[in-house]
Amino acid sequence: MASPASSINYRLPQIEKLLQLNEFQAHIDSLSRPVVTRLMQEELRAIRESDDFKSKGCTDIDAIQRIMSRCAKTEHKKLQRVINATGTIIHTNLGRSPIDVEIWDSVRDINTGYNNLELQIASGKRGGRKGLMCELLQALTGAEDGLIVNNNASSLYLLLAELAKGKEVIISRGEQIQIGGGFRIPDILALTGAKMVEVGCTNITTADDYINAITAETALVLMVHQSNFTIQGFTEKPDIAEVVKRLPAHIILAVDQGSGLTNETLSQSETSIAQYIKWGVDLVCFSGDKILGGPQSGIICGRQTLIASLEKNPMMRTFRPSRIIYSLLEALLIKKLNHAPSGNGIAQKTIDEQKKTLDKAKRLVDFFPRNLTLRSLPLIIGGGALPNTQYVSFGVSITCQGHSAEAISKALRRGKNPIITTIKNDEVLCHLATVNDNDYLVLQQKLQDYFQELCTL
């Protein structure tokens, strides 16, 4: 007579047979066959090592469903389009500035074929990567020359490493900032071999503070955009033009402008790159993927002799961007200089289209009157740009009887086209200003599917 243990089914499905099932084809297309195979191996191993399997075998264990769930969870790691309903226009977690479709399409052929990235077509000889970029940046900012690197952190590192290594850099105590990812200005100075000289106070720094700190070892005065915070109240900043006038000719004045404001009209308080250049600042660096609205990149504008020096630094090869970045920036700047709508970054576009936001919010409430409530909500630029500026905007709060705010927010992030919302005072808020026209109908459909499945419309 067979023992009870011998009658237990310990036979799990074979991986090769699982891979042939129709249920897994979509996951193979999405993740690749090797990755799905590895997930199957890991999940089957976990099942074999579980106490339930050892005592009861395959009874009550749905191996296929467990593997399917694991594949779905892994797919969440892929880059995918999401709906930004956060009210933060340039959202660092959501890829910062979306590229305008017209700009993207205009450079498709350049990037899907060969191009003249490092070729002088007229002579047939090798050339530099800058192409038309210098002329475009001159026209936009008034600078003598410009340089593109892969992000603004690279801009600052390259600038300090080339121009201030082993020398003193004067910086205000109120500008020794930390931005996302632990990027700290004092740490960057130390890494580049520059010696930081602190001047002024947290809230007040004057032109005299900079001038009086200059020694024979001083190479550079660095002014840094405060990025993601503001200091209010009893504060004072120096007149830049005065600092330029009083600095000795051999001392470089560099400004990390950060936000990338050029010819946009969305802020009256932010100093543009062109204004810094007009004041006589030697170098200005900023992000190409914030207010400018381009791809992730860092841009340095200023004196031609200094730009040439930066280009010769051995680290430049590490920081140089690809043809995709150059082509997108080139197309964007041409449109911007021609004042074409596609040349406006996402921040300017969103602010300009604010009048549509209330209408979008009302239409959504009319569609789901029992679950949505109209709300006046703040709109911010984000991405470390204009931290002290908020715009009045509109959106909706989402409720569903018997479901917490966290549960609703999580459900809206599931599946295709995740909706990214915010939660405040245990209320799910959907900001309509950052939901573009193409995503509006998708958002509406996803809300309808959610309410039909779990709530009473």
Q: What's the angle, vertex CA 132, arms to CA 127 and CA 136, rounded to 5?
A: 150
Write down the mean pLDDT value for the chain: 91
Q: State the pLDDT at residue 8.
A: 81
Q: pLDDT tens digits, residue range 190-222?
A: 889 999 999 988 788 899 999 999 999 999 999
Buried b (16+ CB within 10 A) or exposed e, 55-71: eebbeebebeeebbebb
Maximum distance among all Cα pairs of the chain, rounded to whole angstroms: 102
Whether residue 1 is predicted with pLDDT greater than 50 in this model: the reply is: no
Tokens 């490092």 — which residue?
A: 118
pTM over 0.85: yes
Q: How confident is the model at residue 278 (pLDDT cuts 50, 70, 90)?
A: very high
CATH 3.40.250.10 is held by the domain 101-344: no
d(CA 357, CA 353): 7
Q: pLDDT tens digits, residue range 42-61?
A: 999 999 998 888 888 887 78
Q: Are 193 and 313 in contact (CB under 8 A)?
A: no
Amino acid code (one letter) for 428:
V
Q: Are 143 and 280 in contact (CB under 8 A)?
A: no
Q: How far is CA 101 from CA 93, 105, 107, 343, in A?
A: 21, 6, 10, 11
Q: DSSP alpha helices (H): ranges in 247-353? A: 273-279, 304-312, 316-319, 323-337, 346-352
Please name every residue paired with 422 in a beta bridge, in sequence order, or none if there are none: 429
Q: pLDDT tens digits, residue range 307-358?
A: 999 999 999 999 999 999 999 999 999 999 999 999 999 999 999 988 899 9
Q: How confident is the model at residue 2 (pLDDT cuts 50, 70, 90)?
A: very low
Q: What is the mean pLDDT of residues 265-285?
A: 92
Q: Are 243 and 281 in contact (CB under 8 A)?
A: no
Buried b (16+ CB within 10 A) or exposed e, 215-225: eeebbbbbbbb
Q: Which burial class, exposed, middle or buried, applies to 201 when counting CB atoms under 10 A from its CB (0-12, 13-18, 19+)?
A: middle
Q: What is the mean pLDDT of residues 121-140?
A: 92
83-94+347-454 is classed in which CATH architecture?
A: Alpha-Beta Complex (3.90)
Q: Which residue from 190, 189, 194, 197 is spatially nearest to 214, judged by alpha carbons?
A: 197
d(CA 232, CA 401): 42
Q: Are 77 and 28 in contact (CB under 8 A)?
A: no
Other CB atoms within 10 A of residue 117 CB: 14
Q: Which of 22-36, 153-167, 262-276 is predicted with the least confidence, judged by mean pLDDT?
A: 262-276
Domain boundaries, the chain: 11-75, 83-94+347-454, 101-344
